[in-house]
Structures are given as C-alpha cells and as structure tokens.
Amino acid sequence: MGLRSEDLVRFSWGALHGYPARTLLMLLAMAIGVAAVLILTALGEGARRYVVGEFASLGTNLLIVLPGRSETAGINPSTLMGETPRDLTLDDALALQRSPLVRRIAPINVGSAPVSHDSRSRDILVLGSSHELLAIRHWELAQGRFLPAVDLDRAVPVAVIGSKVRDELFGADPALGEWIRLGERRFRVIGIMASEGRSIGVDVQDTAIVPVASAQQLFNTSSLFRLLVEARDREAIAPARRQILEILRKRHQGERDVTVITQDAVLATFDEILGALTYAVGGIAAISLAVAGILIMNLMLVAVSERTAEIGLLKALGASHGQILGLILVEALLLSLLGALLGLLLGELGCWLIRASFPVLPAYAPFWVVLAVVALTLLTGLLFSLLPARRAARLDPVLALYGR
Amino acid sequence: MIELRGIHRHFRVGDQEVHALDGIDLQITAGAYVSIMGPSGSGKSTLLNLLGLLDRPSAGSYRLDGRDVTDLSDLQQAAVRNQKIGFVFQMFHLVPRLSAAENVALPLLLAGVPPRERTPRVVQALTELGLAERMQHKPDQLYGGQRQRVAIARATVTEPELLLADEPTGNLDHHSGQEVIRILESLNARGITLVMVTHDPEMGQRARRRLHMLDGRLEQDHGAA
C-alpha cells in the first residue's frame, strides 16, 4: 500500500493552505535568502564584467613594448655611464613583425600639433601608427577608410580624424577627401573615427591619426613612443613576450633596454580578485539561506505540534511511519520550491533595478548560480524539515490523539 | 476474531510504574457487540488502543483474525489498521481544513486507492449515513451529530471487520447520541464487530456483551457468547 504521489502533493498543499500565516512567513524567509544570493552575486559578477570589459577595450592578447627598462634593478652600466636607453625604431617594429608569434603590430608615435582647415585652427593630439592599429584596438570607423596598408617607412599624406576634430574643423560640411594642415604638412582626410571609439587613456575623438612615418617627419624624430603587439592567441602571449625581449636585446647590442607589459596579466589579476569577491559575497548571502532553513525547522516543529492530533489520526487511519515522514517532507519541499521561485522573481527584479539605476554595471546573476541557489534552497528545506518530520513520524498515536 | 493472552501494559510516570493493564485475557468473536465500562483510569481506553494497534503491550500476545499482530512492524501494523480496523473517537478527530468527503476519503488515500475508485465509495459511505447533502461541508459547518456520522463514514469506508469506538457519544447531546448509537448498532447488525468504550451505563447496557474493568483488570464479563 502506498500513498499516490498526486494525493501526497495535494494533501501537503492543503496543509500549507490551512496555515497561511505560517506558510507566508516561511516563504518570505526563503525568498529573501534566495533573492539576496542572486542580487549579491549579480553585483559581484557585474563588477567583474565591467572591469574585464574596460580592459578588453584596450585590445586582446595585447603586449605593449616601451623603451627603457622599468625594473629598478639598481645600478647597471648604462646608469653609470649616463647613457639614455636606445630608442625603439621602425626597424625594431619590422623585426618583430617577422615573428610567427606576432599577429599584428602597430608602432605608435604621439605628439601635439596645430591642425587647421580654411581659417579654423587648434592644437590636437597626433597619433602616428599603421593600418593594423584599428584591429588591435577594436576601433571602428564612422566614415571612409583607415590608414592604408603600406610599408611602415612610407610617409603617405593621409589622416583619419576623430569626430570632435571633424566637427570643429568642418562643422556640418563633408570632411572626407578634404585637405587639412598638420604643422607644416598637408594631409588628406580619408576616414572619420566612430564616436564609440573610446579607449582608456586616449580620447580618440580629439585625435588625428596619420601613418607613423609621416608622424616621424612631422615631429622630426626617428624614435617611437611605443609598440603595440598583438600575439597570435592567448597561449602565445608569454612566449611572444620572451621572443620580443630576445629580438630587441640582439638588435640593441645585447642590452635589455625595453619593457614589455602584457595587458592580460593585469586583467587576469583583476578577474581573479573580483571573482573571489563574488564568491565571498555569494557565500555570505547563502548563510541567510541557512538562517531561513533554521526558521523553517522551527516553524515546521510548530506545525507538527499544532497538527499533533491530525498526525495521530492519520496513524490511526493506517498511515505508516514513512507516509507521515513523506507528508511533512513534501510539505517542506513544496514550500522551498515556492520560496525559491518567489526569491528568483524578487532577485531578478532587484538585478533589473540595479541595471536600470547603473547601466554600466551588467548585473546579471550567472545561470549556474540560479541553478545552485534553487538546489540549495530545496536541500535546505529538506534538511531542516528532517527533524520535525521524524518527530511527527515518531509521535505516539495515543498521546497524539488524546493530547495527554 | 480477537484473542488476547496475558496482556500487560506498564507506563512509567515519573519514577512510578503504572500498571494500566494487568493481565488481560480476552476473546471476542466475530460480529460481537461489546461494551467496555469502568471508572476513569481503569485501563479501558488503553485496552481499546491495544486492540486498535495504536499501542503495544508490555507483555502478552494479541491475535487478530488468527494472525499474531503483537510484534508486527510499523508498516504492517499500519496496513492492518487501514484495512481491518475502524476508529470512532469522542472528539471526532476530523481534519478541519478538509471537507466531509475529503475526511472520509483519507483512509482510502493512505491506502493508495485511485481517485476514480475512491469517489463512489466515499459517496456511498456518506449517503448511507444521511450526509449526501453535506459532502462538501467543512467540519465547522456541521453540528456534532453530523460530525460523528462523518467520522463513522470514515471508519467504515474501508469496510473493516472491527469497529472501535471510544466514548462515541461523549460529546453529543442525548438525541444525537441516540442517533449515533443506532448507526453503530446497525453496522454491527450487518456483521461488523463493535467494541465500544463508554462511561454511560445506559449506553453500555445496550451491548450484548458487557465488560467491566477496574485497576487494569477485567472485573466482570456479562453476556459472553
């Protein structure tokens, strides 16, 4: 003989209905616990994704080569002899380009120069680089083309300008194909940067980008500000770094006088810290679920003693130990399930409110957290109702019926 | 039908040993109508609970329908209670949130009888007790006599062989009490074994066999077959 499962669920459901105040209280406790976990992990995850996103806008698998050695390694021959470190040159860039670990390379030269068109003139930042800069930095063009794919040492008189520069020089007039004057040289505008082209440290909108050789002529220099190198893939970052250092050491007469920064190393650290933070916060929130579990245990104990006579009656009518146990556990499970669903609703609402108030923060709870929190809620409900259920199952029917 | 041999039941209350039943030997034939009378604390309710497998004796053996049920497991005892025994209580013990029909369906539900089979049996049991119009009423919408009739319907819906009644009229006015006792007697007339605990000598005298208990012992046994 066995209780049919639909009867079991219906009976437990009826029992929950029979004590609305108690049921609501337990639901609320569960729901708040679940919502807390969701909202806090969503916050942590949102912060992590925000930071990762900011770094990704710098470029992926990016290595940055700077002239000079940044390690404070104490005294070396160059400091004693008062030498300045050797400059990075276009030839260095060409040498690195031959490495199979390098996918793209963009030399960078930066300077300030007056820009003018017709009668309008102002000072802007001029960036000398190559056509690969666009792909390395994940920038986009609003109009026209980016720098042409020519040899690095060819000074082609073309320029790509930011939208702010365009507005200030041309107003509403078309800018593509027009000539502008940068310093003493004339450049033809071949492209306009899209307004989303934003990157940490550089306001692209207030910039003119020209071929690196042209920039060197403009600033009368043969050196480079830095080299942006995109490694072939994520695994190639570390070997590429070693190789870059080795190639440049050979080219610089055995002197290690450059610094290579990998962006991914910084990013990974942030990723790790924020990930750990999310776990910690989520874990703290999960404690509130345990608290809800204890509340459920107490209220289920109350429920069992409130329903002592009913349980005794069920025993007299032929309910076995196991059936009573099952009834109470199913009741707790139903309750936990409802609580979890209510909590999910509440949590999603909370996350939505956060996203609505802080649009930069992608506050979404990861899907596995949603699954885990539902599982945890069910487990908590089940675990903490085991004791009350066992107490109910062990009730002496005589005592239960006669209340003695 | 029922065969008790040397039944003892001891309780420990504080550091005092209470002998609720002190050596009971009793045989009850199938279809009998037995009343158990005696003062409070004489052990009559304890005896009834033992007969209903709600309690286990400290010593002695209990055979029901030729089967030794003294040491059955919890599960087996539950099955025997469900299939062979019906209870009627003084306090009715209806589940307040369930309708009359749902209360009556409980033992069938516990036995896993599917709803399609359950409903006609419940309707029949309630109709026989004149409650066809009251099936969807909650217990608090019924008066005492009706509540006890719902409880009797619940006790008989599984068609048990043994009906145990503990002061079935104790909470009822005279008229309702008469009504309930007539129903129980008519069930007995149809072959069900009826064992009833009562304070009320008038009720007790109606039984064909009358047991008097004192201090956990059977003092008198009138009308044994």
pLDDT in tens, B105-148: 999 999 999 999 999 999 999 999 999 999 999 999 999 899 99
Q: Which amino acid belongs to residue A76? A: N
Q: How far apart, in whole angstroms, are the C-alpha atoms of residue A222 and residue A217?
A: 8
Neighbour tally for A326: CB within 10 Å: 20
> What is the pLDDT averaged over residues B58-65?
93
pLDDT at residue number B181: 93
Is a pLDDT exceeding 90 seen at residue B151?
A: yes
Is a pLDDT exceeding 60 seen at residue A200?
A: no
Whether B135 and chain A come into contact, CB under 8 Å, resolves to no
pLDDT classification of A1: cutoffs 50, 70, 90: very low
Chain A residue with CA closest to B78: the answer is A318
Q: What distance in Å separates residue B164's CA from the closest CA in chain A?
A: 11
Whether A25 and chain B come into contact, CB under 8 Å, resolves to no
| pLDDT tens digits for range B163-203 | 999 999 988 999 999 999 999 999 999 999 999 999 888 88
Whether B168 and chain A come into contact, CB under 8 Å, resolves to no
Is a pLDDT exceeding 60 seen at residue B14?
A: yes
pLDDT classification of A71: cutoffs 50, 70, 90: low
Q: What distance in Å separates residue B175's CA from the closest CA in chain A?
A: 25
CB contacts, 8 Å: B154 with chain A: 317
Q: How far apart, in whole angstroms, are the C-alpha atoms of residue B172 and residue B91?
A: 10
pLDDT at residue number A196: 59
Q: Do B87 and A1 touch (CB under 8 A)?
A: no
Specify the residue for token string 């029922």.
B2
Between A254 and B114, residue with greater pLDDT = B114
Q: What is the DSSP-derived secondary structure letter of residue A89?
A: -
Indicate the pTM of the whole model. Answer: 0.69
CB contacts, 8 Å: A2 with chain B: 112
Q: Which amino acid belongs to residue B178? A: Q
Is a pLDDT exceeding 50 seen at residue B208?
A: yes
pLDDT classification of A74: cutoffs 50, 70, 90: very low
Q: How far apart, in whole angstroms, are the C-alpha atoms of residue A2 and residue B111?
A: 6
Q: Do B78 and A17 touch (CB under 8 A)?
A: no
Q: What distance in Å separates residue B202's CA from the closest CA in chain A?
A: 24
pLDDT at residue number B160: 94
| pLDDT tens digits for range A208-250 | 999 999 999 998 888 888 888 988 887 888 888 888 988 888 8
Q: Which amino acid belongs to residue A207? A: T
* Mean pLDDT, all residues of chain A: 85
Q: List the single range of A45-54, A158-167, A318-327, A345-354 with lowest mean pLDDT.
A: A45-54
Strands (E), A45-175: 62-67, 102-117, 120-129, 141-144, 158-161
To test the contact with chain A by mutation, choose from B54, B55, B91, B140 the residue with the greatest count of A C-beta atoms within 10 A, namely B54
pLDDT at residue number B225: 61
CA angle A289, A293, A296 (to 5 degrees): 135
Q: How many helices (H) and strands (E) does chain A have?
A: 13, 10
Q: How far apart, in whole angstroms, are the C-alpha atoms of residue A262 and residue A241?
A: 8
Is a pLDDT exceeding 70 seen at residue A76?
A: no
Instruction: Pick from A147-151, A258-262, A367-371, B187-191 the range whose average pLDDT is largest.
Output: B187-191
Q: How far apart, in whole angstroms, are the C-alpha atoms of residue A168 and residue A161?
A: 11
Q: How far apart, in whole angstroms, are the C-alpha atoms of residue A335 and residue A292?
A: 12
pLDDT at residue number A70: 59
In this structure, the strands spanning B209-214 and B217-222 are antiparallel
* Among candidate residues A37, A13, A26, the one with its CA nearest the CA of residue A344: A37
Is a pLDDT exceeding 90 seen at residue B30?
A: yes
Is a pLDDT exceeding 60 seen at residue A34?
A: yes
Whether B119 and chain A come into contact, CB under 8 Å, resolves to no
Q: What is the DSSP-derived secondary structure letter of residue A224?
A: B
What count of residues does chain B have? 225
To test the contact with chain B by mutation, choose from A6, A313, A325, A390 the residue with the greatest count of B C-beta atoms within 10 A, namely A313
CA angle B179, B96, B76 (to 5 degrees): 85
> What is the pLDDT averaged over residues A21-26?
87
Distances (CA, A) of A69 to A265, A301, B19: 18, 70, 98
| pLDDT tens digits for range A274-289 | 888 888 888 888 887 8
What residues pair up with B24 in beta bridges, in sequence order?
Answer: B7
